[in-house]
Structure 1
Amino acid sequence: MDRNPNQRDGRRRTIESQTRAVRAPRAPAVREPARPPTRPYWRPRWQAVARLVLAIGLVGFGTVVFLSVQERVEPVAARVIDRLDPDAVMEITGYELVPTAGGEENFALEATRQLTYADGSVRFVDGVELSVTERPDRESFVVTGTEARVDAAQTDVTISGDVQLTVSDGLGVRTGMLVYATGQGLVTMHDDTGPTTLTRAGLEASGRHVVYDRDRAIVILREAATVLLIGDDDRAAVDIRSDRATLAHADGYMHFAGGTEILTGPMVLESEDTTAHFGEEETALERLELRGHARIRSTEPTAGGLREMRAAEMTLEFETTARVLERAILAGASTIELVGSAGARGARIEAATMDVTLAPDGGNVTELVARDGVRLELPAAPNGSRQEIRAVMLTGTGTAVTGLTTVRFDQHVEYREQRTATPTSAAVSRVIRAERLVSGVEAGLSALVEARFLGDVWFEEETRQATADTAVYDIAGGRVTLASAGDAGRVASLTDANSNIWAPTIELALDGSTIEASGGVTSVLMPGGSGGDDTADSTSGKMPALLDTDQEVLVSADTLRYDGDAGQTTYTGQA
């Protein structure tokens, strides 16, 4: 029931308005003229579409049934891989591994089969090939083998089984196992069955625990190193053996350490360390540097030739065409021994340094220069005497056929001759000093032929002394001639226990049998002479009866002759 009259009035007004809106009745339609009839447009019904789909399905089904009743073909069996290692988590055939570093290929490893393990390591078997490409800072190389392993980080590649390494610079290596450390560029090789072998044009080498440094292009033979420079019709072979060796092909040298022995022709070279230097040709040996107890010896010594050389260090120069030793420079406690006549012992020379030139065949010494502390020891003479010469410098010259023929000693020359007493001869102790000594020599410097002493000569024996500007020692004849060097020189002098003699020329027999002086002689007979008890070394003879034996007697003459057998001195001319 409505309480508000206003609301009831509103509702009525709304109804009234709606009642007024009723539409009026439609007026009768006006009929238009009929149009001519047209053909109607066909539209397919769904039943027709269904029949078409059903027909197509029946045709397809029939085709499938027809094909299924044809002859059956056996399906291809799935490929089965024979597993080599049950521990491998994956096996792949026909594999290639190409790691890269900095956008560039590090190496490429091809293998017939790959096995991967749980720890991430990879094993390649049934034939492998490792390739490292060339770069501006390294050579390229290829390694082949039977099996390979790669660690999980792909930093180490280990190849084993008939391993062959081929480097683009011509180096070839055969070994049992190889490890390539990719980060360090090092290839380490060893073979449990024997040494690792290396080849290059004109060279063969071997060693144990071999390292090839890819970046430095060097090979290190850590144990039992051998290197052979192959010989031919024109060049001698050089066989080098040492404990360790470094072969630096690109830098043109080889270094051998831990004791070295070198065989070339008839020569054997030894030292603690050796460095070989090569020319532009790979095996053109130019120089050997021997360090520490260096030694050269001949296995086929010939008369006049080299027997042995020793020094703390040696530098050996080779004729590169024939590869033969032509020069040796010795330093530190240097010694050289030559071969004497008929293969007997020759001379021995010592000095601080030596420069030795050898004949083309490496046998005879053709030139020799020794400096500082020179000492020449000659072999014993037939009469048993021994000769020794000391000087600051020694120079020897000769020919390739004869060897040394002449020697020259300079500065503070001292010649010593010693002979022990025998039942038929007295002992000898003779010294000659001078500024220079020049002498011809026999083969192998086995003996001096005629020694010429020059400059401030001093001659000394047990009972007499002599001085002169020059002295000529006829060693074979046993005579010494003392002389002055012209008008400006000093006269020669001879002194013994009983007399003094001064003359431009004095010639004496070393056995004391004769003394001859000429060119204006002055002599002094000393008091207390032998008075008839003359010896072979005395020049006095008997003092004339008219003279007092307690006084010195001065005698001048043109010449003087002393006869030791007769015990008589004869003065002639202006006496």
Structure 2
Amino acid sequence: MALWRRRVRLLIAVLALAFAAVVARQLRPRVPVPPHLPSARTDPAAVAEVTDGRLERITFSRQDVSVDFRRQLLYPDGSMKLFAVKIKTDERGGTRTFTVTGNEGHVGEKESVLTLDGDVQVVASDGLTVRTEHATYDGRDGFVRAPGPVQFSRGRTKGSGLGMTYDKNRDVLDVLQNAVLSIAPDSNGAGGTEITSAAVEFARRDRYTRFDNGVRIVRGGETIEAGNATAYLTEDGERIDTLDLRDNARITVPGAAAGGLQSLAGSTMNLKYGSDGQARQ
């Protein structure tokens, strides 16, 4: 009988200790859990912020257009800012691609024009590269427009100017003012050329380059000047096949040998070039 009582007392003591432990745990002060705070937006005026995204792909009859960005800010008026923005178009069939990048972009409400600022680069799949600090891309007509200084290059040609438009649908680059071009010699050391012109148009697909409102071309020891000129390129687009000069055309060869051509002038001239880069006719 005494053994039974001792066991009951022991069980009651264990239960009492367990109950006391539970009560003590419940009465212990709780450590407050810090509330979850949303990440602060980098611009308090923005209503939303998105990172690493892509705007809706727009599909036209011949090409697809996508806009990727590192960061996007959306504003109450429907406008948006994009950072580390990249616009890419792919022509149907994969024959050509066209990319525009910039540090920052801005699009107004229901607008098709994207304004780009900071290290803007235009790169076409044929190797053409254009650089400027400020430009716009208009999705309605496929034009990139830049009002300020630009630098451009493709293959052996590089140059600069003030203001440009690039029509990606026709693959035509227009430098609007103060165009300066330098063409490096080919692998045989021929064809090195320096050109200045008030304005120039490069039509790569149609293989011609047009110089307007005064042009001066220095190549191979001769100087060519005219009011306007059009250079038609060979099939590979790497050298001049024919050069048409208009409006007070003039060719001078400083230091020409005795009996050699020293100068030639006329209202218009048409020069045909051979594979060595020298005029034949």
The structure with the larger Rg is 1
The count of aligned residue pairs is 259
CA distance in 1, matches of 2:254, 2:55: 56
Instruction: Specify which of 115, 126, 133 is matched with residue 176 of structure 1.
Output: 133
Q: Which residue of 2 aligns with 1:26?
A: none
Alignment of 1:73-92 (within 5 A): 75=34, 77-84=36-43, 86-92=44-50
Matched, 1:318 2:277: no
Q: Does 1 or 2 have the higher relative contact order (CA < 8 Å, sep 6+)?
A: 2
Does the C-alpha gap of structure 1 residues 79 and 300 become closer, same or farther in structure 2, counting only changes over 3 Å?
farther
Alignment of 1:91-130 (within 5 A): 91-101=49-59, 106-125=64-83, 127-130=84-87
The superposition leaves residues 370-401 of structure 1 with CA deviations (integer Å, 9 ceiling, x where unpaired) of: xxxxxxxxxxxxxxxxxxxxxxxxxxxxxxxx
Q: Which residue of 1 aligns with 2:97?
A: 140
Q: Is the 8 A contact 2:64 2:92 kept in 1?
A: no
Q: Is the 8 A contact 1:201 1:282 kept in 2?
A: no
Instruction: Specify which of 148, 151, 157 is matched with residue 203 of structure 1.
Output: 157
CA distance in 2, matches of 1:68, 1:282: 87
Does the C-alpha gap of structure 1 residues 116 and 82 become closer, same or farther in structure 2, counting only changes over 3 Å?
closer
Give 5+ residue unaligned stretches, structure 1: 1-61, 328-575
Does the C-alpha gap of structure 1 residues 167 and 67 become closer, same or farther in structure 2, counting only changes over 3 Å?
farther
The superposition leaves residues 58-104 of structure 1 with CA deviations (integer Å, 9 ceiling, x where unpaired) of: xxxx99x98997996955743422433x4434333333212424599
Q: Is the 8 A contact 2:41 2:49 kept in 1?
A: no
Q: Is the 8 A contact 1:269 1:296 kept in 2?
A: yes
Instruction: Specify which of 205, 226, 229 is matched with residue 274 of structure 1.
Output: 229
CA distance in 2, matches of 1:151, 1:116: 10
- Alignment-mate amino acid for residue 270 of structure 1: E
Q: Secondary structure at the match of 1:316?
A: strand
CA distance in 1, matches of 2:61, 2:169: 19
Is 233-242 or 311-320 further displaced after alignment?
Answer: 233-242
Q: Which residue of 2 aligns with 1:264?
A: 219
CA distance in 2, matches of 1:152, 1:285: 47
Does the C-alpha gap of structure 1 residues 66 and 319 become closer, same or farther in structure 2, counting only changes over 3 Å?
farther
Q: Is the 8 A contact 2:178 2:198 kept in 1?
A: yes
The superposition leaves residues 154-195 of structure 1 with CA deviations (integer Å, 9 ceiling, x where unpaired) of: 41111110111111121111111121111111111233xxx3
Alignment of 1:247-262 (within 5 A): 247-262=202-217
- Alignment-mate amino acid for residue 156 of structure 1: V
Q: Secondary structure at the match of 1:325?
A: coil
Q: Is the 8 A contact 2:86 2:99 kept in 1?
A: yes
Q: Secondary structure at the match of 2:257?
A: coil
Q: Which residue of 2 aligns with 1:524?
A: none
Instruction: Specify which of 252, 262, 270 is matched with residue 307 of structure 1.
Output: 262
CA distance in 2, matches of 1:317, 1:74: 84
Does the C-alpha gap of structure 1 residues 152 and 226 become closer, same or farther in structure 2, counting only changes over 3 Å?
same
Q: Which residue of 2 aligns with 1:186?
A: 143
Identity %: 28
- Alignment-mate amino acid for residue 158 of structure 1: T
Alignment of 1:426-505 (within 5 A): none
CA distance in 2, matches of 1:302, 1:197: 38
Q: Is the 8 A contact 1:176 1:190 kept in 2?
A: no
Does the C-alpha gap of structure 1 residues 104 and 273 become closer, same or farther in structure 2, counting only changes over 3 Å?
closer
| Normalised TM-score (structure 2) | 0.82
Q: Which residue of 2 aligns with 1:365?
A: none
CA distance in 1, matches of 2:243, 2:183: 13
- Alignment-mate amino acid for residue 150 of structure 1: V
CA distance in 1, matches of 2:103, 2:85: 6
Alignment of 1:65-76 (within 5 A): 75=34
CA distance in 2, matches of 1:158, 1:323: 42
Q: Secondary structure at the match of 1:250?
A: coil
Alignment of 1:387-406 (within 5 A): none
Query: 1:264: how far off?
Result: 0.2
Q: Is the 8 A contact 2:68 2:87 kept in 1?
A: yes
Query: 1:256: how far off?
Result: 0.7
Q: Is the 8 A contact 1:162 1:175 kept in 2?
A: yes
Q: Is the 8 A contact 1:226 1:242 kept in 2?
A: yes
Query: 1:258: how far off?
Result: 0.5
CA distance in 2, matches of 1:297, 1:242: 18
